[in-house]
Chains A and B, each alone.
Chain A
Amino acid sequence: MSLKKFSELFTDLDSCNSTNKKIGILQKYFSSNEALENSWTIYLLTGKKNKRFISGRSIKTLFSEIYEYPLWLIDSCYLKVGDSAEVISLLLRNMITGKNIKYQDISLDELLNKSFPELSILKEDYKKLRVKEIWENIPIENLLVINKILTGTFRVGVSIGLITKSIAKLINLDEAIISHRLMGDFIPSEESYKLLIDKKINPLELNYKPYPFLLANTFEKKIIDKSINDFQFEWKWDGIRIQLIKRSGKVSIWTRGQDLVNKSFPELVEKISSIKDDFVIDGELLVWDFKQSLPLNFSLLQKRINRKAPSRKIQKNLPIIFIAYDLLEINGEDQRYSNLEIRRNNLEKHLCNWLNESKEELSNIFKISDLIHPKNWEEAETFKNNSRDNGTEGLVIKNKKSIYTPGRKKGLWWKYKVDPMQLDAVLIYAKGGSGIRAGLYTDYSFALWKDGELIKFASAYSGLNNTEIKELDRWIRQNTIDRFGPVRSVRPEMVFEISFENIQISKRHKSGIAVRFPRITKWRKDKLIKDADTLENAQKLMLNK
């Protein structure tokens, strides 16, 4: 029985800003709870792929229909609250008393394994009855958690890292092992929790799991004081980082987001299966233009990921390649604690053998990441500045002596990114934010000039600090021209410097261009809207890149 306990945990974690205290709270919770419930707790808190039993929209509609409540009023409330589950739990307090309830407490397993899966397949009218019955029969203070579980939206500032730390502390085992055990899909069960906290390490237990990824830090100026020969330089590709695993003959492709994506890339699975050795290789997956020897637009790669079981035609039109960075395991032997130089040598040696043995078929899909050899730091900078020429977004700098450890540890790898492209654009629309930014206008759309008209070219959410957000929110409210639902069009008056990583032709947008990772880098209060950039300037950027 532990919805109640879990709800208290949620409240405690939510009102705690200290990492150490959070770990303490989690440790206490795990040690005083049943294994099965703990496994569901981990599933909910890490939120890897929480099942959504009801969408945010439907929970609002259900409430509206059950209690004959105006939907527009729920939407007005949403603008202030920013979370459908919370809006409904707040509104419910006007509807129910919380007295004479049937379910004083209920186990997470019962909810997640039985009640909710059953609920989600009910026909609308029955669903309404069932949801009403649940809402009216649990303690009011558990409503928020129930609704969050229903809508699959658990974000409490508890990262997988925190869970890892608290479990590691709880059983006094190395974090790296817990973190490895938590990689990939964590399927909640008594068994899976017991395995997670098992003090004995079974060498086979992690067989199908990727290693925790080593992540690069942002470039720090101070490393140029060191000799350039201490570092290995590679291009920074804009694809998806993956671990390609072949163990006991079985191939699995894991993304950094811990998704198993074998189904999206059958051609890679097929060709890799023909390699005689077992291995784990860290690398990047890209959609490739073989004629120009350049990667294709990231959006095409996304198309490939989203398509499970792609047809031959798609495989042909959107061909992929895997660029290998690092050898983490070979024939069952963990390589991660050898230094990078040794790992790289082994990678080159093995890849060379594999390519020789498999004729040319493998080389179409499997490449090694080319090393770059700048003679000094100035030259490294030049490489970085020109990186767009070969479709990369900068360099990755790796300490040759680095071992492969989980996370973003200092002093191992750095990303040295090319300066973003920039345009000055005019704010024309603003939309209310959600989550923690609820009640503030924080989602902005920007426009460029074309023949005396402002054409929307990008939306951005990030880059302003809290003071600026508040100031701009006030300005938006005072300078609204028109309102369409949650969106306001505002007087064109404010100019912002927008930075982005890439620019591409797009038929979907009125402006005819699409930019990647747009964000605000400066509020140009010094500029008038006539000084903002034109679409022509944007097109020039595209040609020059």
Chain B
Amino acid sequence: MKEDSCYLIKYTSSGLYCELADAWIDPIKPVKRALITHAHMDHFTFGCDEYISTYETAVIIKERIGKEINIKTYDYEKEFKINGIKISFHPSGHILGSSQIKFSFAEEIWLITGDYKRQKDDTCKEYEIVKTDYLISESTFGLPIFKWDEPQKTTTDISKWVNSSQEKTSILFCYSLGKAQRILNEISKTNFKNNIYTHSSIYRMNNCYKKLGIDIIETKKLEQTKNNSDLKGSLIILPPALNKSSFLKNFKDSQTGFASGWMSIRALRKRSGYDKGFSISDHADWISILRTIKESKANNIFFHHGDSEALNKYLKEKNSINVLEFEYKK
């Protein structure tokens, strides 16, 4: 077996690294050059000398951090070179602007999926099947108990949940970037007529999406001083960080829900402390991970992000692909 150092992409204490291009992918520490798969903050680190991403990702990042950074952008599929390594971004279907990153060098192709999903999502480009030799796939939901319902089913449930408690304020927690916009986009296709309020962080992202040409239903920005009796029967969308915060004291008669892939498990739903869990995810479920591996035609697979023990063992038993693990350096 090859040593990590022989691979085109390896794992370092700062994250995935392509030595020949001297570039890190979603580094967790400040580095010289960072390729960014998408604009979620756990994939972004301040203080890098240079960032490279898709245009949409760059716009969202700048909006989120509120300042200029040295960021270079490339369109999807547009190939560019760093130190002779050919690199390109390809849609990953996770959120707006999210991408897989393809590296080619000396007849060898590596593909880092970043976070991805195979479900339909009208707020971003659909996942693109990219053929590769080496695949580095995320495995956040790497167990067969995870199988996503159609998003329409979840938004119909959300809509029913709000409508069946008109005397209450329904507070739905979800990630402010990506998930919130996807839910809003989906819910606009149901016959949901109630008022929707969004927290300022979500409201800002909505505008950002709209600016980038995505169809997002009109919501009202939630003002902290808002008289809460006006909010009965409305849907309020907040980021999860505000759960159990003093912010919630503004709403007396309320019910809470959380939208996340983890909510498909009853124990996690119960432990989360929300009244209701809605299962909807922007990551790949088990079947999608297996499908993606197959369609990529990869001969070698690494998993990154998430618990990959079961996937590793399952694929080894099937013996159809070479399952590799990074020598993790702490």
Residues of A within 8 A of B (CB): 14-17, 70, 72-73, 76-77, 80-83, 86-87, 90-91, 93-94, 435-439, 466
Contact = CB atoms under 8 A, between A and B. Distances in A.
A436 B267 contact: yes
Closest 10 CB pairs of A and B: A438-B267, A90-B145, A15-B276, A76-B310, A77-B145, A436-B270, A82-B267, A93-B147, A436-B267, A77-B143
B266 A94 contact: no
Given A81-B266, A437-B267, A94 B276 contact: no
Contacts of A93: 147
A83 B271 CA distance: 14
A17 B256 CA distance: 11
Contact of A72 (B266, B267, B271, B313): B313
A94 B147 contact: yes
A247 to B, nearest CB: 43
Nearest to A157: B270
Contacts of B267: 81-83, 435-439
Given A90-B264, A437-B267, A438-B265, A73 B314 contact: yes
B310 A14 contact: no
A70 B317 CA distance: 10
18 contacts: A15-B269, A15-B276, A73-B144, A77-B144, A77-B310, A80-B143, A81-B267, A82-B267, A90-B264, A91-B144, A93-B147, A94-B144, A94-B287, A435-B267, A437-B267, A438-B268, A439-B267, A466-B271
A15 to B, nearest CB: 5
A87 B314 CA distance: 17
A374 B270 CA distance: 47
Interface of B: 143-147, 264-271, 275-277, 286-287, 309-310, 313-314, 317
A70 B147 contact: no
A30 to B, nearest CB: 19
Nearest to A437: B267
A81 B313 CA distance: 19
Contacts of B265: 80-81, 86, 90, 438-439
Contacts of B147: 90, 93-94
Contacts of B269: 15
Contacts of A76: 143, 309-310
Contacts of B310: 73, 76-77
Chain A CB within 10 Å — which of B144, B309, B317 has the most? B144
Given A90-B264, A439-B267, A15 B275 contact: yes
Given A70-B314, A94-B287, 6 more contacts: A15-B269, A16-B275, A76-B143, A76-B309, A94-B286, A436-B267
Nearest to B287: A94
B21 to A, nearest CB: 32
Contacts of B275: 15-17
Nearest to B257: A15
Contacts of A73: 144, 310, 313-314
Given A15-B275, A76-B309, A439 B145 contact: no
Contacts of A77: 143-145, 310
A72 B309 CA distance: 11
Contacts of A94: 144, 147, 286-287
Contact of B145 (A15, A87, A436): A87
Nearest to B149: A93
A90 B262 CA distance: 13
A73 B264 CA distance: 18
B253 to A, nearest CB: 11
Nearest to A75: B310
Contacts of A17: 275
Nearest to B256: A17
Contacts of B314: 70, 73
Nearest to A435: B267
Contact of A86 (B146, B266, B313, B317): B266
B237 to A, nearest CB: 19
A213 to B, nearest CB: 29
A94 B297 CA distance: 23
Contacts of B286: 94
Given A15-B275, A15-B276, A76-B310, A439 B268 contact: yes
Given A70-B317, A73-B314, A14 B145 contact: no
Given A76-B309, A86-B266, A94-B286, A81 B317 contact: no
A95 B83 CA distance: 48
Nearest to B145: A90
